[in-house]
Amino acid sequence: MVYNKVKLVFAPELEIEFIDREKALKQAEELAAKGTRYPVVVFGSEGCGKTAWLKQAIEVLREAGYDTIYIDPLHKAFIAYSNAKDIIKKLEKATAEAIDVAKVKLATMAIDAVKELIGVWKKEKVAVLVDEVFQVIGLDKAEIYVKSLLNLIEYPPRSYERMVIIVATNEGVTRRKIGRHRWASLRPMWNMSRKGFEELYEKIPGPKPEFEDIWRLTGGNPDMLSKLYQAEWNVNRVITELINSKEITSSFIEKWKNWLDEAIKDPDILWRANVPDELVRELITKNLIVYNMYDRDPWFWIDEPPLEKDLDLGIGKHIAWQTPLHREAVKRAITQR
- Highest mean pLDDT of the ranges 3-7, 33-37, 144-148: 33-37
What digits encode the pLDDT tens for the residues 126-166?
999 999 898 888 878 888 999 999 999 999 999 999 999 99
Do 251 and 182 reside in the same domain of the chain?
Answer: no
Q: Is the predicted pLDDT of residue 125 greater than 90, yes or no?
A: yes
Residue 95 forms part of a structural domain? yes
What digits encode the pLDDT tens for the residues 235-264?
999 999 999 999 999 999 999 999 999 999
What digits encode the pLDDT tens for the residues 51-63?
999 999 999 999 9
CB 101 within 8 A of CB 160: no
* Pairing status of strand 162-170 against strand 185-189: unpaired
CB 57 within 8 A of CB 129: yes
Q: Give bridge partners of residue 78 from the DSSP assignment.
A: 71
Q: Is the predicted pLDDT of residue 168 greater than 90, yes or no?
A: yes
Query: Of 155, 189, 223, which residue is a domain's last?
Result: 189
Q: What is the mean pLDDT of residues 61-76?
A: 95
The Cα 88–Cα 199 span in angstroms is: 36
CB 129 within 8 A of CB 3: no
The CATH number given to whatever domain includes residue 42 is: 3.40.50
Q: Is the predicted pLDDT of residue 310 greater than 90, yes or no?
A: yes
What digits encode the pLDDT tens for the residues 188-242?
999 999 999 999 999 999 999 999 999 999 999 999 999 999 999 999 999 999 9
Do 153 and 199 reside in the same domain of the chain?
Answer: no
Do 64 and 166 reside in the same domain of the chain?
Answer: yes
Q: Is the predicted pLDDT of residue 2 greater than 80, yes or no?
A: no
Percent of the chain with pLDDT over 90: 84
Residue 270 forms part of a structural domain? yes
Do 198 and 185 reside in the same domain of the chain?
Answer: no
Of 176 and 285, more confident: 285
Measured in Å, how far apart are the chain's first and last C-alpha atoms?
Answer: 55
pLDDT band at 266 (very low <50, low <70, confident <90, very high): very high
pLDDT band at 3 (very low <50, low <70, confident <90, very high): confident
pLDDT band at 173 (very low <50, low <70, confident <90, very high): low
Q: Is the predicted pLDDT of residue 99 greater than 90, yes or no?
A: no
Do 85 and 227 reside in the same domain of the chain?
Answer: no
What digits encode the pLDDT tens for the residues 282-305?
999 899 999 989 899 999 999 999
Do 108 and 200 reside in the same domain of the chain?
Answer: no
Residue 273, φ and ψ in degrees, nearest 5? -65, -30
Q: What is the mean pLDDT of residues 86-110?
A: 90
Do 117 and 222 reside in the same domain of the chain?
Answer: no
Name the E strands within the chain: 7-11, 14-17, 40-44, 67-72, 77-81, 125-131, 162-170, 185-189, 289-291, 319-321
Query: Of 150, 165, 189, which residue is a domain's last?
Result: 189
Mean pLDDT of the chain: 93
Query: Of 162, 189, 216, which residue is a domain's last?
Result: 189
Do 119 and 228 reside in the same domain of the chain?
Answer: no
Q: What is the mean pLDDT of residues 10-25?
A: 95
Question: In 3-state terms, what secondary structure has residue 102?
Answer: helix
Do 58 and 184 reside in the same domain of the chain?
Answer: yes
Name the E strands within 26-85: 40-44, 67-72, 77-81
Residue 2 forms part of a structural domain? no
Do 88 and 136 reside in the same domain of the chain?
Answer: yes
Give 77's Cβ-side CA count (13 Å radius). 10
What is the number of structural domains in the chain? Answer: 2
Domain hosting 260: range is 194-336
Do 180 and 203 reside in the same domain of the chain?
Answer: no
Provide the greatest CA pair distance for the chain.
62
Do 229 and 293 reside in the same domain of the chain?
Answer: yes
pTM of the model: 0.93
